[in-house]
Amino acid sequence: MSPPAASPSRRHSGAAPPPVRRSATFASQPEPATLEVTRLGQVEYARALDLQADLVRRRAAGEIPDQLLLLEHPHVVTLGSSAHRDHVLASDVQLRERGIELFETGRGGDVTYHGPGQLVGYPILRLGPGRRDLHRYLRDLEEVLIRALAAFGVLAGRAQGLTGVWTEGRKIAAIGIRVSSGWVTSHGFALNVEPDLDYFANIIPCGIHGREVTSLAECVGGRVPMAAVEDDVVSAFAEVFAASPAHRPRREATHDARDRREIPTDPREDPVPRT
């Protein structure tokens, strides 16, 4: 039986927001920069890698403004630059039987699962001189998700010494990034909205032993519309990064990915070891 519908976000319910531990107040911000937001639905992991590589090249060349891709992946386990293969608990045969792809990828961090019901965000940003601090960028991504979760009445925060977003001791969002020469970002975050959490049993998430994962649906006790979560993530992203969102048609973005087959890679790209 399907779980009951979740309560509406605080904006619609009139409930007071819970106290949220926020990042330090930043210095005065410049005029908001354009952030093109594309909602892609479900995209195969390999296609998303190609699309990111193309957008990174175009952003570094100044051909496009900053981008935020929002999407879901089919079942896939990804290995970051500091991953240990023994953190994948299922064998290759078991993964195939369960319909789970396995990818080695250029992001930082350890092993992560992506699948339907999980909101994945790939910011393709050219970080300005005042933001060229990788730790600050990671904290900013965490802040985006903390604020988005607060809109649903979920009190989330950080865990000492760990990257990602947590609530009541359980991980609800993972972060793994890559920064190329020219300070252009790729990869990003994965927020558990309403995935099948049983799939996480195939891995040790982010290589962290003894920590459970959770989802927004589990926290609120009901189903949560993905579109509503996307809306709150975009709003929070605009606040934290002082950006002005411009929504791009889905068809336009997928057309770009199909039309650009040969994507150059930059050997100077620097994967950041965070998950």
- Mapped onto helix, strand or coil, the DSSP state of residue 201 is helix
Give the amino acid at 41. G
Does residue 79 sit within a domain?
yes
Does residue 1 sit within a domain?
no
Domains held by the chain: number: 1
Tokens read off for 272: 């950041």
pLDDT-derived band at 257 (thresholds 50, 70, 90) equals: very low
Range with lowest mean pLDDT among 13-22, 140-149, 240-249, 263-272: 263-272
Options 119, 151, 190, 206, the catalytic residue = 206
More confidently predicted of 31 and 234: 234
Q: Domain range for residue 62?
A: 30-271
Query: CB-based contacts of 36: which residues, under 8 Å, 6+ apart?
Result: 64, 65, 66, 67, 68, 245, 246, 247, 248
**Rounded percentage of the chain residues whose pLDDT exceeds 70:** 77
Does residue 225 sit within a domain?
yes
DSSP code of 68? E
Does residue 7 sit within a domain?
no
Does residue 204 sit within a domain?
yes
Question: If DSSP states are collapsed to H, E and C, what string results for 175-191?
Answer: EEEEEECCCEEEEEEEE
What pLDDT sits at residue 52?
97
- pLDDT at position 42 over 70: yes
Query: How many Cβ atoms from other residues are within 10 Å of residue 43's Cβ?
Result: 20
pLDDT (tens digit per residue) in 15-40: 544 544 444 444 454 678 999 999 99
Paired sense of beta strands 170-180 and 270-271, if any: antiparallel
Give the CA distances from residue 164 to residues 139, 208, 223, in Å, rounded to whole numbers and listed in that order. 9, 12, 23
Q: Residue 74 is part of a domain; what is its CATH number?
A: 3.30.930.10
206 included as an active-site residue: yes
Q: Of all helices (H) and strands (E), which one includes residue 77?
A: strand 76-79
Does residue 12 sit within a domain?
no
pLDDT (tens digit per residue) in 159-210: 999 899 999 999 999 999 999 989 999 999 999 999 999 999 987 766 677 7
Q: Which residue bears the tokens 């950041």?
A: 272
Predicted model pTM:
0.81
- Mapped onto helix, strand or coil, the DSSP state of residue 139 is helix
Does residue 22 sit within a domain?
no
pLDDT (tens digit per residue) in 111-138: 889 999 999 999 999 999 999 999 999 9
